[in-house]
A and B are shown apart, each in its own frame.
Chain A
């Protein structure tokens, strides 16, 4: 009788220990899932903030900017000729800016025709980079898209209003 009572108590104790263990495990899992959700959120926020700040930086980076090619240095001025050259050599830059998409859309004059070597400059959308992955909300900045043009009086600079759009990769 004493033996059976002892066994009962041990069983009770084991159940109790298991219950306490499971409780701790559950609390731990809830805590970790909350912590990781916060971490993911802050990673996403940082990626969005990065792409928002990157978009202004990108327009002035050497691969995009006009430099002094159209007179003096201008902020947010993108060289259309250089951009087409970049589009053709983009595989080398695929992970350089660590973004999912870089696109330039002419606003004035507006056009949905994608720019290729054959139809350049009579087009409106330049898809510089598209990694075909899930992307976060895109950020954009207004730019002047400049190129050299020629008419009966000689060469002149032609600048059009456009929008540079950048989207970061969604890694969540």
Chain B
């Protein structure tokens, strides 16, 4: 086909078929580029959701063991932001993980989270890095409520200053590389158990962690109140308070279960005398961590009353 470029008056003249082909070609190329970029975007989001779900699945073994605390690490090939999502409404509330990964210097924006109802992850709202440390610890109050999971990035190093011996021993056993007691890196987040200029201050005897102007209260049984203390150290206030509300619901529901269990034991003639305490616990109004801490005394008494009985409830 011969392309006529100029007419008699010197104007450019392109045959209609050529013009048509060029326009259609441009449209096809545009659609191809647009759909492939959308596909890459959707593929990235799918990978993020899949990785989020895989992390949730990998957390299962952490909640199985009877060891006091155990740690593991997850390495993701590209720079990743783990968004910790906590919702405290509806029954037991729910725990979500939303992953955003860096691709060609740009963060993907995944709107989809993977959710579970039976997990409690304590971390900052956003934890960023390639390597993440996860450790878990059983939380008893007075009976086992849940296994708490603490998520930190290898980029964040914590320096524990003047920590009580039991905490030094426990964390030393974990051998988690981003937790230090001595020779702390300069950029590390300082966690002080006595007075001093620190990022995080812990009053172990009064049961609170101070972060800037925020107070996060923790509680536990007489011999071990570190489970919630670590939770307060490693998480943002909003996440911590949300998880406390979720744990409160589980505490109350478990109290009702133990009440019903007591009925079964009573039928066999095995009394426990914990009925009224369990009713109080199942009806407790807990709004925040301070309210949760106020149960401490009763919980310790309940635990003493349960211990050593022939028919102990837990």
Chain A interfacial positions (CB closer than 8 Å to B)? 6, 9-10, 13, 17, 20-21, 24, 28, 35, 39, 42-43, 46, 49-50, 53-54, 56-57, 60-63, 65, 67-69, 73, 75, 79, 81-82, 84-86, 88-89, 92, 95-98, 120, 148-150, 154-155
Contact = CB atoms under 8 A, between A and B. Distances in A.
Residues of B contacting A: mostly: helix
Contact of A89 (B16, B64, B256): B256
Interface residues of B, number: 50
Contacts of A88: 260
B16 A10 contact: yes
Interface of B: 16-17, 20-21, 24, 28, 31-32, 35, 43, 46, 50, 53-54, 56-57, 60-61, 63-66, 91-92, 116-118, 143-146, 250, 253-254, 256-258, 260-261, 263-265, 268-270, 310-314
B118 A96 contact: yes
A92 B91 CA distance: 7
A162 to B, nearest CB: 17
Nearest to A86: B257
Contacts of A42: 50
A43 B50 CA distance: 8
B304 to A, nearest CB: 13
A96 B117 contact: yes
Nearest to A85: B260
A150 B61 CA distance: 36
B269 A150 contact: yes
Contact of A149 (B250, B260, B261, B268): B268
Contact of A50 (B57, B144, B254, B265): B57
Contacts of A73: 66
A9 to B, nearest CB: 5
Given A57-B64, A60-B65, 8 more contacts: A50-B60, A62-B250, A67-B143, A82-B257, A85-B264, A86-B257, A89-B257, A89-B260
Contact of B311 (A46, A53, A97, A148): A148
Contacts, number: 115
B266 to A, nearest CB: 10
Contacts of A13: 17, 20-21, 24
B66 A92 contact: no
Nearest to A20: B28
Contacts of B46: 39
Nearest to A74: B66
A20 B27 CA distance: 12
Contacts of B50: 42, 46
Contacts of B146: 62
B55 to A, nearest CB: 11
Given A46-B53, A148-B270, A150-B270, A53 B60 contact: yes
A63 B254 contact: yes
Contact of A53 (B16, B57, B65, B268): B57
